[in-house]
């Protein structure tokens, strides 16, 4: 009896000792990881960013809810939040990031010339672009949606379908505009307009029963003006938004992908979830432990 008790005491002491060693090991591993990152291969963007002490991000400033100025003139938006998630992963400080404001046409040139470390600017992934830059894992799946007026006579996609040719849809003018509308509303009248603002103004004025715009735009407007706008609930034509990075720099790409995976699907998702709700008015799908679905 005594021998058994002593054995259990010795086992517990061994377990506690192992726990203390493991805890110390975590601290050592953390320090070792920081040193290892700093020893990334010469020419690595990861090494350059760590040595510099800040992340340089190319983005825009005029497209809510992705990148725009708040009332204080500071950049905000979902793209800005993703940049801060990366800064948090690099330096444990969301503010260690410098934003370079650029036009969409400068996104790929500024990556390939090294003017910025990464572009986070609602950039659609395509095979043609992937020949010029590396793309991170997607951080948003964009699509087309139907924005409707809370005061309009139709409140859902099904009601618009039932209205047939009596329904009117506004859309930004382009060669595929009619086809884009007809995918959702085969019989609707199509109003092609020259700017996105005019597309939405047509809905506001009653000239259109639905505005065919980006899903992110619908989420942004409905959250900010729930008494004014309604989401029809019909979304289609998916496209992927990803960060763009310089080609041939796989340790940098791996770091960005790892950080986004942890923020979107792992245990450090506070920043991503907060931004998703703030800018799109919705919570991401609940993360369910078990088989990985990332």
* CATH architecture type of domain 45-140+241-280: 3-Layer(aba) Sandwich (3.40)
Q: What's residue 188's pLDDT?
A: 97
- Specify the DSSP class assigned to residue 280: H
- Angle, helices 250-265/45-52, rounded to nearest 10 degrees: 70
Topology of domain 142-239, CATH: D-Maltodextrin-Binding Protein; domain 2 (3.40.190)
Residues 138-176 pLDDT 10s: 999 999 999 999 999 998 999 999 999 999 999 999 999
Q: Considering only 20-34, 163-177, 224-238, which range has the smallest mean pLDDT?
A: 20-34
b/e for 239-258, b at 16 or more Cβ within 10 A?
bebbbbbbeebeebbebbbe
Whether 144 and 150 have beta carbons less than 8 Å apart is answered as no
**pTM, to two decimals:** 0.83
Q: What's residue 40's pLDDT?
A: 55
With 80 as the cut, is the pLDDT of residue 216 above it? yes
Residues 251-288 pLDDT 10s: 999 999 999 999 999 999 999 999 999 999 999 988 88
């Amino acid at each position: 009896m005594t021998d058994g008790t002593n054995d259990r005491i010795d086992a517990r002491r061994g377990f506690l000792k192992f726990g203390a060693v493991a805890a110390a090991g975590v601290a050592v591993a953390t320090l070792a990881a920081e040193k290892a990152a700093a020893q990334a291969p010469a020419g690595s963007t990861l090494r350059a960013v760590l040595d510099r002490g800040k992340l340089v991000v190319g983005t825009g400033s005029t497209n809510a809810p992705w990148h725009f100025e708040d009332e204080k003139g500071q950049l905000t938006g979902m793209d800005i939040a993703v940049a801060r998630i990366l800064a948090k992963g690099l330096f444990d400080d969301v503010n260690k990031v410098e934003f370079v404001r650029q036009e969409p046409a400068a996104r790929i040139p500024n990556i390939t010339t090294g003017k910025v470390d990464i572009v986070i600017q609602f950039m659609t992934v395509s095979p043609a672009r992937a020949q010029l830059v590396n793309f991170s894992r997607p951080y948003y799946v964009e699509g087309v949606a139907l924005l409707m007026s809370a005061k309009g006579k139709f409140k859902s996609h099904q009601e618009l379908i039932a209205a047939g040719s009596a329904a009117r849809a506004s859309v930004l003018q382009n060669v595929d505009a009619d086809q884009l509308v007809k995918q959702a509303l085969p019989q609707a009248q199509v109003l092609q307009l020259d700017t996105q603002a005019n597309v939405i103004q047509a809905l506001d004025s009653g000239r259109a029963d639905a505005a065919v715009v980006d899903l992110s735009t619908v989420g942004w407007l409905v959250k900010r003006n729930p008494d004014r706008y309604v989401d029809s609930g019909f979304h289609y034509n998916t496209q992927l938004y990803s960060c763009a990075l310089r080609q041939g720099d796989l340790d940098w790409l791996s770091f960005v992908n790892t950080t986004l995976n942890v923020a979107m699907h792992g245990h450090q998702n506070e920043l991503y979830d907060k931004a998703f709700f703030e800018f799109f008015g919705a919570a991401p799908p609940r993360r369910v432990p078990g088989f990985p679905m990332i």
